[in-house]
Amino acid sequence: MATCDLCIKNGTLVTGTETYQATIYVKDEKIIAVTAPDVKLLEANETIDAAGLHVLPGLMDTHVHSRDPGPTHKEDFYHSTRAAAAGGITTVFEMPNTTPPVDNAAHFDQQKDNLSSKAAVDFGLWGICLGHLNNNKILELHERGVISFKFFWGYAVHEKTFQLMYNYKPGMDNVIPPFHDGEVYEMMEHVSNTGQIFAVHAENNDLIQTLTSRVEERGGSSYGDLLEGRPSLAEVLTVQTGISMARATGVRFHVLHVSSGEAVELVRQAQHEGLPVTVETCPHYLFLSAEQYNDIGSTMKVYPPVKFKKDQDAIWEGIKDGTISAVCSDHAPHTAEEKDGELWSIPAGMCGVETLAPLMLNAVSEKRISLNRFVQLLSEEPARMYGIAPQKGTLQPGSDADFTFVDMNKEGTIEVEKLHSKSKVSAYNGFPVKGWPVRTIVRGRTVMHNGSVIEDSTGQLVTPVQKGTAIHG
């Protein structure tokens, strides 16, 4: 009898639409066959008995800031990808606001080499849109294989380093102010020519500047004051403008980390109109709300900020009715010292890549979503949206042998000191979870088993399937 590298038997396979018993055979990092449980097709060099476990197509986190190269005292790719593996994630998409940013082909190549030597899981690279600074580099980034393009709407840029300025004030030296709408329109035109996604951090800087100044003038410092300075309207205005420009340019417009119910409704209406508009959200908008701030504290400060319970409920509705295509972490660590201070002065962001899947699996246990919907949100839909299906996101022959084994009966508590990230700051410390990833397999190789992460760096770059041609979907 012929042999293969790996056989996974006795598991319950879960896709976005089906749940069934089957045996999986792997050879040369690919799935080569999926058979009925009682059919022995090949001998295997390694056999894994997945009895009692659900076997899912490898999970993805499409929104990760590993800060590498950059402020790596907070995080680096070695630690973030081991945190990903520990959390059942087989592929991460790394955001482009590094030092230097992924703004041209040379920097793409440099980042690929940098991260490949550290990666515990596979990874894609976002490209950044910087208006006139790199509009003429968009096509070369597309041809190199960026996963898609991100624009930090409302942020200023340092004119020498091209780094984002998170606390921009008019009159700062060596700073390019936030781009105006005409410049954004031109960015969309350039990205539209590639067929790839134009994804935005959606906050209206002009409104935030005006409202924040009002709050600061009266000495506001509470979480309620923070929301007054960065209200839902700041997101809504940007999403409205983006949808209108997408209608005009034909670009595939994607709203990152949606935080308000009103913005979800705008996307829903755009989708009903048939526009190429998609949206993602994150666990902090699904499991936290402003009403919890006094209990959780400043670890929950993120941008856009976590809003109210009514927004949380509306975002869950977007999950359930299919308006929201993906859930990701927006993993953006800071040190405990940096997050320990006055609310308005501390940075926004926290660890998330390791807790993404456990939190969403707990939602499955609570019957807020099905395990099939979980697979859609964290595997199938991201792979389709970003053009890496069927290489990723399926359990079909020919696909990469990426699997996440889940024990839906396992119970535990999220403990920040056990996180694998370099900085261990999370608003979810002490959260109880039922349903945990217990094995992570990347291209046929186990990188995590029962919480223990394998130390080798064998992750590889993944690029859109139609690399070099227009991507439509």
Residue 148 and residue 49 share a domain: no
Question: What pLDDT score was predicted for residue 442?
Answer: 98
Question: Per the domain annotation, does 225 fall within a domain?
Answer: yes
Three-state DSSP class for 254? strand
Same domain, 107 and 51: no
Question: Are 20 and 65 contained in the same domain?
Answer: no
| 356, 207: one domain | yes
Quickly tell me which residue has 């005006």 as its tokens: 210
The residue among 283, 362, 354, 272 whose CA lies nearest residue 319 is: 283
420 found inside a domain: no
Q: Is residue 30 part of a domain?
A: yes
Sequence letter at residue 366: E
Whether residue 221 is found in the same domain as residue 139: yes
Closest by CA position to 357, among listed 83, 148, 27, 30: 83
79 and 169 assigned to the same domain: yes
Q: Are residues 39 and 94 in the same domain?
A: no
Q: What is the CATH number for 198?
A: 3.20.20.140
Q: Are residues 96 and 228 in the same domain?
A: yes
Residues 360, 211 share a domain: yes
Total number of domains constituting the chain: 2
Same domain, 435 and 290: no
Domain membership of residue 93 (yes or no) is: yes
Based on DSSP, count helices (H) and strands (E) in the chain, helices before strands.
Answer: 15, 21
Q: How far apart are CA 188 and CA 178, in angstroms?
A: 16
Q: CATH number, domain at 14?
A: 2.30.40.10
Read off the tokens for 321: 């009715």
Euclidean distance between CA atoms 343 and 405, whole angstroms: 39
Cα dihedral across residues 443, 446, 448, 454: positive or negative: negative
Boundaries of domain holding 174: 59-385
DSSP string, 125-184: EPEEP-GGGTGGGHHHHHHHT-S-EEEETT-EEETTT--EETT--TT-TTEEPPPPHHHH
Element (H, E) at 200: strand 197-201
Q: How far lies 135's CA from each of 149, 164, 247, 411, in Å? A: 11, 17, 20, 49
Q: What does the alpha-carbon distance between residue 283 and residue 62 come to, in Å, rounded to a whole number?
A: 13
Q: What is the pLDDT of residue 470?
A: 35
Query: What is the Cα–Cα distance from 254 to 417, expressed in whole angstroms?
Result: 34
CB 465 within 8 A of CB 453: no
Assess if residue 422 is contained within a domain: no
Q: Which amino acid is at 250?
A: G
**Assigned domain for 424 exists:** no
197-201 and 252-255 as β-strands: parallel, antiparallel, unpaired?
Answer: parallel
Q: What is the dihedral of CA 318, 322, 324, 327, to 10 degrees?
A: 110
Does a structural domain hold residue 461? no
Q: How far apart are CA 319 and CA 301, in angstroms?
A: 23
In a shared domain, residues 268 and 282: yes
Taking CA atoms, 384 is separated from 51, 177, 193, 358, in Å, by 29, 35, 19, 23
Give the Cα-Cα-Cα angle 57, 259, 425 (nearest 5 degrees): 70
Each residue's pLDDT tens digit, 207-257: 999 999 999 999 999 999 999 999 999 999 999 999 999 999 999 999 999
> What is the tens place of the pLDDT at every residue in 395-448?
999 999 999 999 999 999 999 999 999 999 999 999 999 999 999 999 999 999
Q: DSSP letters of 382-448?
A: HHHHTT-TTTSS--STTSB--EEEEEEEEEEE--GGG--SSS---TTTT-EEEEEEEEEEETTEEEE
Calpha distance 21→19 (Å, rounded) = 7
Q: Based on the fold, state whether residues 252 and 325 are members of the same structural domain.
A: yes
**Burial group, residue 306, by CB count within 10 angstroms (0-12, 13-18, 19+):** buried
Where the chain has pLDDT below 70, the residues are: 166, 466-473
- Say which residues have a Cβ less than 8 Å from residue 55's Cβ, sequence separation at least 6: 8, 11, 12, 13, 14, 24, 395, 403, 404, 405, 406
Cα angle 318-324-330, degrees, rounded to a multiple of 5: 115
DSSP 3-state of 60: strand
**pLDDT for position 466:** 53
**From CA 365, how far away is CA 287, in angstroms rounded?**
14
Paired sense of beta strands 122-125 and 89-94, if any: parallel
